[in-house]
Amino acid sequence: MNQERIKQLKQEVCEANLALPRAGLVKLTWGNVSVKDEAAGVIVIKPSGVAYDAMTPDKMVVTNLEGNLFTGQLKPSSDLATHVVLYQNFPEVSAIVHTHSKWAVSFAQAGRDIPAYGTTHADAFYGAVPCTRMLSKAEIERGYEQETGRVIIEAFNKRQIDPNAVPGVVVRGHGPFSWGKNSKQAVENSIILDEVAEMALATELLSGGEIQPIPSFLLDKHYWRKHGKTAYYGQ
Amino acid sequence: MNQERIKQLKQEVCEANLALPRAGLVKLTWGNVSVKDEAAGVIVIKPSGVAYDAMTPDKMVVTNLEGNLFTGQLKPSSDLATHVVLYQNFPEVSAIVHTHSKWAVSFAQAGRDIPAYGTTHADAFYGAVPCTRMLSKAEIERGYEQETGRVIIEAFNKRQIDPNAVPGVVVRGHGPFSWGKNSKQAVENSIILDEVAEMALATELLSGGEIQPIPSFLLDKHYWRKHGKTAYYGQ
Amino acid sequence: MNQERIKQLKQEVCEANLALPRAGLVKLTWGNVSVKDEAAGVIVIKPSGVAYDAMTPDKMVVTNLEGNLFTGQLKPSSDLATHVVLYQNFPEVSAIVHTHSKWAVSFAQAGRDIPAYGTTHADAFYGAVPCTRMLSKAEIERGYEQETGRVIIEAFNKRQIDPNAVPGVVVRGHGPFSWGKNSKQAVENSIILDEVAEMALATELLSGGEIQPIPSFLLDKHYWRKHGKTAYYGQ
Amino acid sequence: MNQERIKQLKQEVCEANLALPRAGLVKLTWGNVSVKDEAAGVIVIKPSGVAYDAMTPDKMVVTNLEGNLFTGQLKPSSDLATHVVLYQNFPEVSAIVHTHSKWAVSFAQAGRDIPAYGTTHADAFYGAVPCTRMLSKAEIERGYEQETGRVIIEAFNKRQIDPNAVPGVVVRGHGPFSWGKNSKQAVENSIILDEVAEMALATELLSGGEIQPIPSFLLDKHYWRKHGKTAYYGQ
């Protein structure tokens, strides 16, 4: 293994994890970030049960691309298996964030997609952020964290949503996962996900239940001015 | 008395009290933490009416296990009698926190249990956080703080709730108490209690009144991956 | 005039004003605190239009008990006339706070009393915090700030509310005033007023419109354990 | 060009942009401020895609009054064309702020004006803050940012609203713009716009749908005690 690259990745993963409580998305130890490096053949993830103020790059945990741990390390975040499934099925994703941020969790608990009510949403998510179905008892018994990954994949496949265009999800009864091409993007998407969730609730309270998502041409405009080959926003 | 141990306990109780305003759970002087040490035969609790920025370990108040004060000290928190009743009836509890944190208070004022709508809740509370009944006029006249403890015990006994599995309550018209095996746990539970209360309100606003608690198999999974002999989360 | 006493009062009023943005109750320059000293024959109040970060004790404005300015000073807060009316009619009040804190303002805008839904409220306010009627066009033309004071007095007189037991009000369409025996108490009451207003809204959202104030015996207990001769809470 | 004046303007625009995240109105890079100087013949605006913690005066972008860039600079904020249209149609406006602040965005997403429910609103906005209509597909294709400016102008013209008396708007499905005679005023108006939006939502939740704007005589009183020749508030 390229030790210099591993060191960089640990630094990046540590910083990305610390960005979550700073952004107000994480209380206590609720949250984790991982980064995948295909070339280096590794996933680097937050250790389990380490307080944020004791988190240092050397404590980050390194696994191979199947999520198998190299020896002599702390235990990885329990949600590692979920991350592995997402990396295996979403090949362009190189970083994943999981939080219990309160507005995204509230949509997850209500079992609802987060509708694209405005351009703040459309700038980052090309359509509604989907909510998965509830895991079954059998799935939970078979392997909870892995099946959490699978129910996310199922939601994107069944509804033919492109995970690169909608880089986030809420897992029914649980909470949000978001992702990106790198940890900066994945963390930003977790911030945006929670912000648009809060705004969506306020929008509905102001609307008396008659609200529609923005028209597709406005969604298109905002998404495509920031993404893809014709992007001109914030470049 | 073991003076070294008392000194440690005062330090711990002072720090736990200071953690509450830092977590945004306490304004002004609304809140108190106590710790019980069975072996040392003492309860250590916040003094009454001392501002948080003037709080130092030496001001913490020491009583015996019946809540009787040793001489030459500040007045203890008025809620001491409530803490004593809880310690006497919940033998595994070694630390108690009381706050007026706003979302838990709102459930208390609405006279409602906090339902287990998701895994954030299930990670800490194995089922709904109960709301007690309103104290009667006679009870309040007989001894308000002690009866507050008793109405909590009654709620757990009548509904056969295990206080070790559901380490918190909201007292009708008043506010939350939470507890744990130590002050760190009790403080964390007070943070979680308020957070899940806020999320529960948002969940209901998003659901138009049709929301159900999470299924028991998901509750089981989340609670037991963090607690008991088979726990593997955050260990 | 006792220059030493005036200097003390200016210091106190300056600090009390600065406490408001620190408590999150005031944005921009929205808010003012005054203190009355009967013996010294003065009212000291925030100057008009001075930014909080430029506020120093020497800028505080001194008037006599009728609100007439001593020469050579900055302009007093526009709301001075309201404060004067309150001091003249509520003789035990020695400090007044006005803010546009958001939850109290929301009750004012909705034209609603803040009901006593729990003990957090009862600890400071012995019953609902009243909302005044709307000022008439004629009153506003006659002298807006003075009439604002009068409509507050009218609300307390008509409804026979004791301003010492209910040290706050929301003015219809405008916002809250609170008061106390000194600036510390008046500022604390402004914090509590906004906090119980926010909790009251959440309580109503959780209750589906069927909520009642707490019973009078619980209101009595909480109010009287903190106030009057038999108080034992936080002393 | 007067290089000394340009330097001043860049300093001012940089500081005004940095004030937005400090006031809690802007997350990530969502927001921009520009200033127009008629005499100097320039508009100075935030660059595109520069993080707030890397923002320095020398990175601010200078254009002529038609929004044409002088050479050798960073790319201007994508919203420049909107600002230019507003400057051309609102001749007394010398500074413009755009944010995605959450409560103003929620009104924009709900497609609703922000009603003048109280004096906090009336102190800054002489009547409801209008919400524009949704842009059409043709308009978006023709030139999204420019048409955003035009739909704002249309709203003010059609409804005969004076942009100097109502210095803000919410663009349907998008978010708020505010303005003023200078950047300090424009930033303050963006703070007030979001604050009154949040209060308006809370007011409606407390009112059960029966709420009316404040009477015109109270609106007049508050607006005119702060603005115009007869102003006496905060001067």
Q: Which residues of chain D are within 8 Å of residue C110 when distances are taken between CB atoms?
A: 203, 206-207, 211
List the one residue out of D85, D111, D95 whose CA is nearest residue D20. Answer: D95
DSSP state of A228: S
pLDDT above 90: percentage of residues in chain B:
90
CA angle D133, D137, D141 (to 5 degrees): 120
Task: Please give the average per-residue pLDDT across A130-141, as a whole number.
Answer: 97
List the one residue out of B85, B31, B37, B14 whose CA is nearest residue B193. Answer: B31
Token pair for C114: 């803040």
What's the pLDDT at A234? 65
Query: Number of helices (H) and strands (E), helices first, in chain C?
Result: 7, 6
H/E segment holding residue B194: helix B183-207
Distance CA B157, CA A55 (A): 41
What is chain C's mean pLDDT, rounded?
95
> B181-208, pLDDT tens digit by residue?
999 999 999 999 999 999 999 999 999 8
Task: Please give the average per-residue pLDDT across B21-29, as a whole number.
Answer: 94
pLDDT above 90: percentage of residues in chain D:
90
Token pair for B114: 């906090």
Token pair for A192: 């945006």
Taking phi first (over 0 means left), then psi (-120 to 50 degrees means alpha), and beta for anything else, what does residue C209 get?
A: left
Q: Which residues of chain A are within 8 Å of residue B117 when distances are taken between CB atoms?
A: 109, 173
What's the pLDDT at B234? 64
List the one residue out of D192, D15, D169 whose CA is nearest residue D83. Answer: D169
| Residue to test with chain B: of C101, C194, C217, most B Cβ within 10 A | C217
Chain A to chain B, count of Cβ pairs less than 8 Å apart? Answer: 78
What's the pLDDT at B123? 95
User: Would you call A123 a catalytic residue per the annotation?
Assistant: yes
Query: Does C73 contact D at CB distance below 8 Å?
Result: no
What's the pLDDT at C101? 98
Of B87, B117, B123, B220, the catalytic one is: B123
Residue B235 confidence (pLDDT) above 60:
no
Which amino acid does the sequence have at B197?
A: A
Partners of residue D69 on adjacent β-strands:
D63
pLDDT above 70: percentage of residues in chain D:
98
Token pair for A234: 């914030």
Q: Which residues of chain B are within 8 Å of residue A28 when distances are taken between CB atoms?
A: 188, 191-192
List the one residue out of B222, B233, B234 whose CA is nearest residue A49. Answer: B234
CA-CA-CA-CA torsion sign (D30, B205, C198, B34):
negative
Subunits touching A (CB < 8 Å, at least 3 pairs)?
Answer: B, D
Query: Nearest CB to B198: which of A102, A108, A144?
Result: A102
- Which string of DSSP letters, residue by residue, matches A166-203? S-EEEETTTEEEEEESSHHHHHHHHHHHHHHHHHHHHH
Query: Does C195 contact B at CB distance below 8 Å?
Result: yes
DSSP state of C212: -
What's the pLDDT at D234? 65
What's the pLDDT at A88? 98
Query: Does D59 contact A at CB distance below 8 Å?
Result: no
| Residue to test with chain D: of A198, A217, A222, A235, most D Cβ within 10 A | A217
What's the pLDDT at D12? 98
Between D94 and C209, whose confidence is greater? Answer: D94
Query: Does C227 contact D at CB distance below 8 Å?
Result: no
Task: Please list, in sequence order, all residues whose beta carbon lies within 8 angstroms of the beta carbon of residue D50, skipping any fewer than 6 positions away.
Answer: D29, D59, D74
> A41-81, pLDDT tens digit by residue?
999 999 998 999 999 999 999 999 999 998 889 999 999 99
* Interface touch A30/B188, C-beta < 8 Å: no
Do residues B232 and B123 lie in contact, with contact meaning Cβ atoms separated by under 8 Å? no
List the one residue out of D89, D106, D107, D112 whose CA is nearest residue D179. Answer: D89
Of C37, C79, C123, C194, the catalytic one is: C123
Which residue of chain A is at minimal alpha-carbon distance from B222? A144
Q: Which of A129-133, A177-181, A206-210, C38-42 has the lowest mean pLDDT?
A: A206-210
> A18-30, pLDDT tens digit by residue?
999 999 999 998 9
Give how far D102 is from chain A: nearest CA, Å: 6
* Interface touch C206/B107, C-beta < 8 Å: yes
CA angle A73, A74, A80 (to 5 degrees): 105
Which residue of chain A is at minimal alpha-carbon distance from B23? A27
> A169-196, pLDDT tens digit by residue?
999 999 999 999 999 999 999 999 999 9
Q: Which residues of chain A are within 8 Å of residue B214 when distances are taken between CB atoms?
A: 109, 134, 173
What's the pLDDT at D2? 86
Task: Please give the average per-residue pLDDT across D100-113, as a whole number.
Answer: 98
What's the pLDDT at C137? 96
What is chain B's mean pLDDT, rounded?
95
Distance CA D16, CA D207 (A): 36
* Interface touch D218/C173, C-beta < 8 Å: yes
Q: What is the pTM of this model?
A: 0.96
- Binning chain B into helix, strand and coil, the percentages to the nearest 5 are 45, 15, 40
Q: Which residues of chain A are within 8 Å of residue B206 when distances are taken between CB atoms?
A: 106-107, 110, 112, 201, 204
* Interface touch B134/C218, C-beta < 8 Å: yes
Query: Does B61 contact C at CB distance below 8 Å?
Result: no
What is chain A's mean pLDDT, rounded?
95
> B36-88, pLDDT tens digit by residue?
999 999 999 999 989 999 999 999 999 999 999 988 899 999 999 999 999 99
Chain D residues 151-180 within an 8 A CB cutoff of chain A:
173-175
What is the CATH superfamily name and number for domain B3-226?
Class II aldolase/adducin N-terminal domain (3.40.225.10)
* Interface touch B211/A110, C-beta < 8 Å: yes
Chain C residues 91-150 within an 8 A CB cutoff of chain D:
100, 102-103, 105-112, 134-135, 137, 140-141, 144
Chain A to chain D, count of Cβ pairs less than 8 Å apart? Answer: 79
Residue A210 confidence (pLDDT) above 90:
no
Give how far D105 is from chain C: nearest CA, Å: 18
Q: Is A229 helix (H, G, I), strand (E, B) or coil?
A: coil
Long-range Cβ contacts of B85-92 (<8 Å, 24+ apart): B85/B146, B85/B148, B85/B149, B85/B150, B85/B152, B85/B153, B86/B149, B86/B152, B86/B153, B86/B177, B86/B179, B87/B36, B87/B43, B89/B149, B89/B153, B90/B153, B90/B156, B90/B163, B90/B164, B90/B179, B92/B163, B92/B164, B92/B181
Give how far D227 is from chain A: nearest CA, Å: 30
| Residue to test with chain D: of C45, C74, C106, most D Cβ within 10 A | C106
User: Would you call B233 a catalytic residue per the annotation?
Assistant: yes
pLDDT above 90: percentage of residues in chain C:
90
Residue C235 confidence (pLDDT) above 70:
no
Residue B16 confidence (pLDDT) above 70:
yes
Between C59 and A1, whose confidence is greater? Answer: C59
Task: Please give the average per-residue pLDDT across B118-137, as a whole number.
Answer: 97
Taking phi first (over 0 means left), then psi (-120 to 50 degrees means alpha), and beta for anything else, what does residue D115 get?
A: beta
Chain C residues 15-44 within an 8 A CB cutoff of chain D:
27-30
What does the domain layout of chain B look like in residue ranges?
3-226
Chain B to chain C, count of Cβ pairs less than 8 Å apart? Answer: 79
Phi/psi for C141 (5° steps) reads -70, -35
